[in-house]
């Protein structure tokens, strides 16, 4: 990570209601970057917390699938608010997909979609494969859902699949993709959101001590990004980083309240996104602590 890029004050990119076009503009400005650089440098340049979240999400996708196209993408796994393979009804038959995914981040704007689908033979234990499709493929349709109060500038879609042709990615869909993505998303979204806050702090001249601690948090995120998502020690480190982030909340909110009201309003509206996976993170951390040497 070229930290001087982050330390140097830069103008934010204007919010673009076309998420795909806005992401393309960001990539054009950043040039060739690693996923961590995308999350941090990109998150810093975003106009809203929601757009920073989206950049972190895209960075996580690129760690999950290094061959991902440069354009906006999405992972489609959730069905009926569940990620459990046994609860999924989307099916892969040969190279054809049928089923439905209920909540796809930026699904209506995505250029490519990764689909978790059941692929076991009748009578066998549930097994997932991960397939790639393009939204304009016959048999694939994305329905844009109404905006929700949390991050209303980031759209969500419902995906319908009817015998849609796909490509298969190598490896088990759960162990190689859906399960590790939970950790990758935590790492890269935390990185992007912390960078967004750091940028606000730069612009609003927050107390130097607070800016430095946000920068230190990003340094920890850089180390977490180097850990394999199935590494229990990496999960412990990530737990520590979220504890750091939580410990800064009161000071961040106080600093925001003393500055331009638009920043405080955005953060007040969207900060709850950081708590959505708190339960899963807590269970993962407890399991990691039990399996490591940390007391």
Asked if residue 101 has pLDDT above 60, the reply is yes
Answer for the pair 55, 43: CB distance below 8 angstroms, yes or no: yes
Percent above pLDDT 70 for the chain: 98
Residue 9 has a pLDDT of 73
pTM of the model: 0.95
H or E stretch including 165?
strand 156-165
Q: Is the dihedral of CA 45, 46, 52, 54 positive or negative?
A: negative
pLDDT band of residue 6 (cuts 50, 70, 90) is: confident
Residues 214-229: what's their mean pLDDT? 97
Angle formed by the axes of helices 261-270 and 49-64, nearest 10°: 50
What is the topology classification, in CATH, of domain 73-168?
A: Butyryl-CoA Dehydrogenase, subunit A; domain 2 (2.40.110)
Q: What's residue 14's pLDDT?
A: 96
Quick one: pLDDT at residue 295? 47
Q: Tell whether the model's pLDDT for residue 129 goes beyond 50.
A: yes
Query: pLDDT at position 5, please?
Result: 81
Mean of the per-residue pLDDT values for the chain?
95
Alpha-carbon torsion, ordered 140, 20, 69, 197, to 10 deg? -130
pLDDT at residue 123 in the model: 87
User: What is the per-residue pLDDT across 150-194, written as a single tens digit (0 to 9) for each?
Assistant: 999 999 999 999 999 999 999 999 999 999 999 999 999 999 999
DSSP 125: P
Q: How would residue 293 be classed by pLDDT, with cut points 50, 70 and 90?
A: low
Q: Measure CA 269 to chain center.
A: 18
- Return the residue matching tokens 């054809």: 96
- Give the pLDDT confidence score for residue 294 in this predicted structure: 47
**Whether the Cβ atoms of residue 20 and residue 110 lie closer than 8 Å to each other:** yes
The string of pLDDT tens digits covering residues 131-157 is 999 999 999 999 999 999 999 999 999
Q: Where are the domains of the chain?
A: 35-44+176-290, 73-168
CB 35 within 8 A of CB 1: no
pLDDT digits 0-9 by tens, 17-75: 999 999 999 999 999 999 999 999 999 999 999 999 999 999 999 999 999 999 999 99
> Residue 159: what pLDDT?
97
Residue 252 has pLDDT above 90, yes or no: yes
């Amino acid at each position: 990570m070229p930290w001087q890029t982050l330390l140097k004050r830069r103008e934010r990119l204007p919010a673009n209601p076309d998420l795909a076009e806005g992401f393309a503009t960001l990539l054009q400005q950043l040039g060739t970057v690693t996923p961590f650089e995308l999350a941090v440098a990109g998150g810093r340049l975003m106009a809203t917390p929601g757009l920073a979240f989206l950049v972190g999400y895209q960075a996580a996708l690129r760690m999950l699938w290094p061959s991902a196209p440069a354009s906006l993408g999405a992972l489609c796994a959730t069905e009926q608010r569940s990620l459990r393979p046994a609860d999924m009804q989307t099916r892969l038959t040969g190279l054809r997909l049928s089923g439905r995914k209920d909540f796809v981040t930026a699904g209506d704007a995505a250029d490519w979609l990764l689909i978790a689908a059941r692929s076991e033979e009748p009578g066998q234990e549930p097994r997932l494969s991960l397939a790639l499709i393009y939204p304009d493929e016959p048999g694939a349709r994305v329905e844009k859902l109404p905006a929700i109060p949390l991050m209303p500038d980031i759209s969500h879609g419902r995906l319908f699949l009817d015998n849609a042709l796909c490509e298969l990615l190598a490896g088990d869909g759960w162990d190689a993709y859906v399960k590790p993505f939970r950790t990758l998303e935590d790492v890269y979204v935390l990185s992007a959101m912390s960078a967004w806050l750091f940028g606000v702090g730069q612009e609003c001249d927050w107390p130097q001590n607070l800016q430095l601690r946000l920068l230190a948090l990003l340094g920890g995120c850089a180390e977490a990004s180097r850990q394999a998502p199935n590494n229990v020690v990496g999960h412990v480190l990530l737990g520590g980083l979220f504890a750091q982030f939580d410990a800064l909340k009161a000071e961040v909110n106080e600093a925001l309240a003393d500055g331009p009201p638009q920043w405080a309003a955005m953060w007040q509206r969207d900060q709850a996104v950081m708590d959505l996976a708190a339960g899963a993170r807590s269970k993962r951390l407890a399991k990691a602590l039990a399996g490591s040497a940390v007391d």
